[in-house]
Amino acid sequence: MKIFIDSGDIAEIKEAAAMGAIDGVTTNPSLLAKTGKPMRQVITEICQIVDGPISAEVLATDCDGIVSEGRQLAQLHPNVVVKVPLIVEGLKAVRVLASEGVKTNVTLCFSASQALLAAKAGATYISPFVGRLDDLSEDGMQLIEQICAIYSHYDFDTQVLVASVRHPIHVVQSALLGAHVATIPFKVIQQLAQHPMTEAGLKKFLEDSKKIPQG
């Protein structure tokens, strides 16, 4: 399973890339607003750091507007993936963009039926939001299981990109269910590498190393 970092923070992205942990980046207007920089400037900077899919979200909500913005974003860099909201107008736009060879990431997916429509429209990625479903006392990972099962029965090229990941368990479950990608906040990427037994073991090794005769 590929791992994308869900961030607009250049320092975070550089650190995750240095770990060899990430294959791509996802952004959204909320994340980019925190940078205080123009969206296209940040996307261009990210493309210079990570050689992989970089999702940049449109702001329009009508088909023509989404297509126009999507074309402009796609021209920024060959790795840019146009992020489109899962609404009727968005699906129409995905079909047009896909026909032009523009890669798309259909976001804000909360049901298997939505995911099915996105795949039929030609989406490159579908982004189900597992954490937000969990917040509503629903099982977000059950949605991932449903989408993966449906896609496995048909000749869809759409990849399942697990989004709204809140903790390492979401990541492990995504991998076990066969999701293609999980997009993860930097904090969770760090947590993936941590375990108290690792820290305790390293501390013991370092303490014992002081007993080794020098010479």
Catalytic residue IDs: 83
- Please name which of 29, 93, 97, 90 lies closest in space to residue 57, comparing C-alpha atoms: 29
Q: Residue 124's beta-bridge partner residues? A: none
Query: What dihedral angle (degrees, nearest 10) is formed by the CA atoms of 144, 146, 150, 156?
Result: -10
Helices (H), ranges, the chain: 10-18, 29-33, 39-49, 63-74, 88-99, 112-121, 130-135, 140-152, 168-177, 186-192, 196-209
d(CA 178, CA 213): 50
d(CA 30, CA 107): 14
d(CA 198, CA 141): 28
Contact 24, 53 (CB under 8 A): yes
